Amino acid sequence: MNSIIPGTMMAGVRALAAALLAAGLAACGPTTPERAEKPAPLVFPSPPDEPRFVYERTLRSSIDVDPLSKESELRLMLTGEATTAEGLVKPYAVAVHQGKVYVSDTVDRFVKVFDFPNRKYYKIGDDDREPLAKPLGIDVDSAGNLYVADATRKYVMVYDASGKFARKIGGPKSFERLSSVTVDPEGNRLYVVDIGGVTSDQHQVQVFDAKSGNHLFNIGKRGGELGEFNLPRDLAVGKEGRLYVVDGGNFRVQVFDHDGKPIKAFGKVGKQPGQFSRPKEIATDPQGNVYVADAAFGNFQIFDPEGELLMFIGDRSEREAPAKYLLPAGIAVDEDGRVYFVDQWFRRVDVFRPAAIKENEGYLGRAIYPPEPKAEKK
């Protein structure tokens, strides 16, 4: 070949071939999410009511935080070799801290982290000496420490901000059946929800000192009166340090003060707005509004701090789509008011942004749309 075609022409041919190849590849390559057509934003409530939330994105697998690099795209097209991604198997609960989204997976037995600021996906709970058996409710404090309720081992497992196992709290002697753990925003107190199970009377919230692990006091016992629980599922800390507890078997949310004194309860069993059928997890936003996930309704309802219904988002559908759910469970609200909602059946986390902030604002927004111009990925 070299003898027939002179060297300079060969270089030109090579350049042309490269250009054609690049053009060909660009034409039939996969479109990156930024270039694809964006559908009209999904707002809640729907018009003519004033929009309060906008559906933003869905998290299903590691690709959602760590998209395929240009090299793996090219490799996939030329050789068919795919970079493996990891998806959620049966996600249950979610917690968010400064753009890092933590999701507990009950079947895969890890807490999966979608680290948006660092564009990384990793798993927590891989410690050989202290494995995670059944991670259910989780929470993160302001320092980034992760607390995981392990229902099978009956411990609250604590991991530091880098994901390394730090310590465990409780144990089979303390807990009957763990459902969830919540840490107060300052990181001082740990509220552990013991759902108890059907045949036990130990339905209560146990309060620990988050730093030392010392047991402080218990809230409630099994029953139907104010201050008593039947199958409590989750707890959230709200306005003025109030504790909001999903009292599942009594179909209500109970409100306690910071020291565990019962204040009031709202909700009752039924299918109407403001009522509960299968309330699961609960979260509060920076304004103190209360978000309650209901697996039977396929939605989450938003109440003001006194228990007055504000709105609800989501309904049931057998066909997957944003804001359509079959078995929702976990819910969390981050520092900017973004809502993260987990569906166990559809294996995804939907993210809703408050209509007041733009998509590049807030911890998650700044991580996904960095303010300075992005350097070309090599």
State how far the Cα of 258 lies from the Cα of 312, in Å rounded to an integer. Answer: 27
Which of 272, 280, 274 lies closest to 327, judged by CA? 280
Smallest distance, Å, CB 237 to other proteins?
20
Which of 147, 127, 136, 144 lies closest to 105, judged by CA? 136
Which residues contact other proteins (rule: CB under 8 A)?
Answer: 44-45, 49-50, 52, 90, 92, 106-107, 134, 136, 151, 177, 179, 195-201, 222-223, 230-231, 233, 248-249, 251, 268-275, 277-278, 280, 294-299, 302, 304, 308-312, 315-318, 326-327, 329, 344-345
Which of 261, 255, 251, 262 lies closest to 238, judged by CA? 255
- Indicate the residue among 98 and 275 with the shorter CB distance to other proteins: 275
135 with 106: CB under 8 angstroms? yes
The sign of the torsion formed by the CA atoms of 87, 302, 283, 335 equals: positive
Number of H-type helices and E-type strands within the chain: 3, 27
- Indicate the residue among 50 and 240 with the shorter CB distance to other proteins: 50
Which of 222, 223, 219, 214 lies closest to 235, judged by CA? 219
- Indicate the residue among 49 and 209 with the shorter CB distance to other proteins: 49
Smallest distance, Å, CB 76 to other proteins?
30
Smallest distance, Å, CB 279 to other proteins?
10
- Indicate the residue among 295 and 367 with the shorter CB distance to other proteins: 295
> What are the angstrom distances between the C-alpha of 215 and each of 173, 192, 336?
12, 10, 32
Q: Which amino acid is at 167?
A: R
State how far the Cα of 286 lies from the Cα of 37, in Å rounded to an integer. Answer: 33
Smallest distance, Å, CB 269 to other proteins?
5
**CA-angle at 277, arms to 271 and 278, nearest 5°:** 150
Task: Count CB neighbours of 373 within 10 A.
Answer: 6
Longest pairwise C-alpha distance within the chain: 96
Smallest distance, Å, CB 174 to other proteins?
18
Smallest distance, Å, CB 233 to other proteins?
6
Smallest distance, Å, CB 281 to other proteins?
10
- Indicate the residue among 159 and 303 with the shorter CB distance to other proteins: 303
